Amino acid sequence: MATVAADPRAKYVAGGTNVVDLMKEYVEQPSLLVDITALPLRAITHSSDGVRIGALATMSEVADHPELAALFPAVVQALLLSASPQLRNMATIGGNVMQRTRCAYFRDVSQPCNKRAPGSGCAALRGVNRQHAVVGGSEQCICTHPSDLAVALLTTDAIVHVQGRTGERRIPFDRFHVLPGAMPQRETVLERGELITAIQLLKSPVTKSSYYLKLRDRASYEFALVSVAAGLDVAGGTVRAARVALGGVAPTPWRSHEAETALVGQPANAATFAAAAQAATRGMRGYGENDFKVALTRRAVARALAHAGGIA
Amino acid sequence: MSFGKVTRRRFLVRAAAAGIVVGTPRLSAAAQAVASVLVVPASGPGPIPVMLNVNGAAHALKIEPRVTLLDALRERLQLTGTKKGCDQGTCGACTVLVDGRRVNSCLTLAVMAQGKKITTVEGLANGDQLHPVQAAFLQHDGFQCGYCTPGQIMSAVALLAEKRPTDEASVREWMSGNICRCGAYPNIVAAVRAAAGSAS
């Protein structure tokens, strides 16, 4: 940990599915890789308020874990809709939330990219931006965050457990990722050298009635154009609590407080879901090739809510 | 794939848990585990000894830490059954088993596969006796050019071991990490289902 904290070009490696890929493209050029796979951080343990998932648990291990599908269906669905079986056997939960954008300009060292090379410009802004953000971006960066799991985690009030040199801290997951703003090279609140040790999920009636919807060009093995994680606590036909999170639309996994506000206290029916879906797209804008994402998000939110609310 | 002339990377080999806990009583069990790790000195950037167990045989290699398992298998061990399709984890042609689990060898660093049981397509048959999945691919004409086929077969072997559902839609989804440019999917699915003993 001291080594990685001291050397700005040292990186941790676990599953390797992101860092090795980016090394081949010269996007990441670490001087040192620190293999953390021998650390005992793989356990999945249940408690009275939820489950604690070790950072080194693989996506497959979490997706196949017997009790999680009933407690956190959106999380398990998100994992199974991610990547491929091979990649899920390699990739870890900690690495998954740390993975970097799939923006083609970020991944191409011959292209301007403020995230990879601060100050060089954002080629996507007026370039090929079909896959890019419609909310939360800036003049410096309109990338999207690729993780499905991260979107689902936003519906579970998850907490990231982090170990640093001076001690531990717990970071609410909805504050873990940061928007690009003027500094797109900064993606999370982690300090150099800090290591995710576990992610803790809190169970609730909302998480038990949750659903993950992923829309993409192909039927499988592809990142989302737009995705939605929705959870509803419905009692007597009325929404008591709701969580709505979006993927494929923002540089970070995107929690839609607007949609949630439009749901709570309302009857759990199609009209309410349509209103919430409209609220979810407030402030969204396209950049030329991704304008379709706004309407697609609206439809996706409505559909995901219908599933979560049991009226699909 | 060569990394060209850029600075080679050093590699800090796997940390082994040691007995001495350096942490204070305030630390949680997880934090104590992290603090107690004994770090092995960095290896590389030049070639380092890497021992790989492939298809039951041990091989002592001397390779740089940045060499992928795919390149180690093909270039150093001449086990060219495993194919390089995309070299970036998006096609599955490089699929091998590591401790029985299917992985993309193109995104696996060989040095991180030490101490694990690696199985390639060359390790499936028992002498002249084909593995049932291999036989099924022949029986059901599950390939055209054959380039994706070793990866498809390794993936299918693992799918059966994982005991995934074997209806057609499930097989398609659980084999979705293996792409076939020739489009032999209908016969690939038939071969996998036959190997699973499913009715067509």
Alpha-carbon A135 to chain mean position: 15
The 10s digit of each residue's pLDDT in B67-105 is 999 999 999 999 999 999 999 999 999 999 999 999 999
Between β-strands A10-13 and A32-35, what pairing exists: parallel, antiparallel or unpaired?
Answer: parallel
How far is A135 from A45, CA to CA, in rounded Å? 36
The 10s digit of each residue's pLDDT in B155-191 is 999 999 999 999 999 999 999 999 999 999 999 999 9
The 10s digit of each residue's pLDDT in A71-101 is 999 999 999 999 999 999 999 999 999 999 9
Asked if A86 reaches chain B (Cβ–Cβ under 8 Å), the answer is yes
Q: Do B6 and A31 touch (CB under 8 A)?
A: no
Across residues B131-144, what is the average pLDDT? 98
What's the pLDDT at A1? 82
Across residues A24-48, what is the average pLDDT? 97
Across residues A64-70, what is the average pLDDT? 96
Tokens describing residue B47: 């070639």
What's the pLDDT at B28? 54
How far is B110 from B94, CA to CA, in rounded Å? 13
Between residues B94 and B23, the one the model is more confident about: B94
Across residues B47-71, what is the average pLDDT? 98
The 10s digit of each residue's pLDDT in B182-198 is 999 999 999 999 999 97
Neighbours of B164 (CB within 10 A): 17
pTM (predicted TM-score):
0.93
3-state DSSP percent of chain B in helix, strand and coil, to 5:
30, 20, 50
Is B21's pLDDT higher than 60?
A: no
For residue B143, which amino acid is it? Answer: F
What's the pLDDT at A4? 81
**Mean pLDDT for all residues in chain A:** 97
How far is A170 from B198, CA to CA, in rounded Å? 48
For A125, half-sphere exposure in the C-beta direction (CA atoms, 13 angstrom radius) is 13
How far is B105 from A205, CA to CA, in rounded Å? 41
Distance from CA of A193 to the nearest CA of B (A): 13
Buried-exposed string A69-87: b where 16+ CB fall within 10 A, e elsewhere: eebbbbbbbbbbbbbbbbb
Across residues A108-119, what is the average pLDDT? 98
The 10s digit of each residue's pLDDT in A243-275 is 999 999 999 999 999 999 999 999 999 999 999
Across residues A40-64, what is the average pLDDT? 98
pLDDT > 70 fraction of chain B, expressed in percent and rounded: 79
Contact A2, A45 (CB under 8 A): no
Tokens describing residue B74: 């093909």
Is B19's pLDDT higher than 60?
A: no
pLDDT > 90 fraction of chain B, expressed in percent and rounded: 76
Asked if A217 reaches chain B (Cβ–Cβ under 8 Å), the answer is no
Partner residue opposite B107 with nearest CB, options A17, A85, A219: A17
For A283, half-sphere exposure in the C-beta direction (CA atoms, 13 angstrom radius) is 13
Q: Most B CBs within 10 Å: which of A80, A86, A197, as the mutation test of the B interface?
A: A86
Asked if A3 reaches chain B (Cβ–Cβ under 8 Å), the answer is yes
Asked if A167 reaches chain B (Cβ–Cβ under 8 Å), the answer is yes
The total number of residues shown for chain A amounts to: 312
- Tell me the ipTM for this assembly: 0.96
Across residues A275-297, what is the average pLDDT? 98
How far is B188 from B173, CA to CA, in rounded Å? 12
The 10s digit of each residue's pLDDT in A145-187 is 999 999 999 999 999 999 999 899 999 999 999 999 999 999 9
Is B124's pLDDT higher than 50?
A: yes
What's the pLDDT at A2? 81
pLDDT-derived band at A62, boundaries 50, 70, 90 = very high
